[in-house]
Amino acid sequence: MSKGKLEKFSEISAMPHVFQNFNWKLPTLQNYKGEQVAMKGKWRSDFFKNDHPIVIELACGYGEYTMAIAERYPNLNVIGIDVKGNRIWRGAKFVQDKGLKNAAFVRTQIEQLLDCFEAEEVDEIWLTFPDPRKEHRRSRKRLTSARFLDLYRQILKKDGLVHLKTDSTLLYEYSLESLEENDCKIVVHYRDVYAANEKENLAAIDRNFDLATSVKTRYENIHAELGETIKYVRFKL
Ligand SMILES: C[S@@+](CC[C@H](N)C(=O)[O-])C[C@H]1O[C@@H](n2cnc3c(N)ncnc32)[C@H](O)[C@@H]1O
């Protein structure tokens, strides 16, 4: 029988690589000892204990990208972020079982990013199948709206890359417009990244194309089965 939510919450609370925010108004995170810790600006010195680049996966769900990056690239540090502890549990358990030391998970709202990272602390951001927020009145909540781009600008190092993977045509088209409007530099975008990979062997070009074409998330699988093409946008802020 699969584990219930409460059991998963209890398990992640005892994991040294999971940090949780229990109060949106407080800038601190709670660690596995139940202590309030301020990780902002301290991820490399206090947790990873190295100077490697930091990649974050926002709306990570189970954290498929966090798991893949941690396992394939020991010289990268990676942090999966999602508000749902029962989803994070999957990735956190994988990291624990594999004994990986270059991955962490943060259970918090993405809106709290500035409480978690200082300027230029993050090298790269992955947005993996974020909610498209179909209704227009909710477009402010899309992770490529001006409001979120501004947050990313405040933590991402200069020229750092942001990657968006989505099945949603609405979110893809909205994102391209929003990126133009907010003076971002679109590096590449594909309406069907797998078709592009077949044609141009993108995976051989660099690590991020390889990740984009080889790691499939839970939501990606659901939507691909429904016949959606998978879109990919790479941009700078
Ligand atoms: C459609 S799911 C995608 C999950 C995963 N990346 C995947 O591809 O399977 C969107 C995720 O975003 C998370 N989420 C939505 N709004 C959020 C917010 N404001 N802060 C943190 N996580 C959020 C949800 O909990 C959910 O896990």
Q: What is the pLDDT of residues 205-216, one digit of tens each?
A: 999 999 999 999
The answer to whether the CB of 79 falls within 8 A of the CB of 106 is: yes
Tell the residue nearest (CA) to atom 15 of ligand 1: 59
Q: What is the pLDDT of residues 146-162, one digit of tens each?
A: 999 999 999 999 999 99
- First-last CA distance in the chain: 45
Task: Return the bridge partners of 233, or none.
Answer: 164, 189
Six-digit token pair at 180? 């133009």
* pTM for the full predicted model: 0.97
Q: Which atom of ligand 1 is nearest to the CA of 87?
A: 27
The answer to whether the CB of 31 falls within 8 A of the CB of 19 is: yes
Tell the residue nearest (CA) to atom 4 of ligand 1: 61
Residue span(s) of the chain under CATH 3.40.50.150 come to: 1-118, 122-237
Give me the catalytic one of 51, 123, 131, 210: 131
Question: Could you give the residue ranges of the DSSP H alpha helices within 14-143?
Answer: 64-72, 85-98, 113-116
Domain 122-237 fold is: Rossmann fold (3.40.50)
Q: How far apart are CA 228 and CA 222, in angstroms?
A: 9
* DSSP state for residue 54 in the 8-state scheme: E
Tell the residue nearest (CA) to atom 12 of ligand 1: 59
C-alpha 199 to ligand 1 mean position (Å): 31
Strand order in the sheet with 29-30: 36-37, 29-30, 18-20, 103-107, 77-82, 54-58, 122-128, 156-166, 231-236, 185-190
C-alpha 66 to ligand 1 mean position (Å): 13
Q: What are phi and psi of 189, to 5 degrees?
A: -150, 140
Say if ligand 1 is within 6 A of residue 58 CB.
no
* Residue of 21, 57, 58, 60 with the most ligand 1 atoms within 8 Å of its CB, for mutation: 60
CATH code for the part of the protein at 1-118: 3.40.50.150
Six-digit token pair at 67? 């798991």
Q: What is the pLDDT of residues 165-217, one digit of tens each?
A: 999 999 999 999 999 999 999 999 999 999 999 999 999 999 999 999 999 99
Q: Which atom of ligand 1 is nearest to the CA of 130?
A: 10
C-alpha 64 to ligand 1 mean position (Å): 12
Please count the other Cβ atoms lying within 10 Å of the Cβ belonging to residue 158.
8
Q: How far apart are CA 149 and CA 122, in angstroms?
A: 14
Q: What is the pLDDT of residues 4-56, one digit of tens each?
A: 899 999 999 999 999 999 887 787 899 999 999 999 999 999 999 999 999 99
Active site residue 131: yes
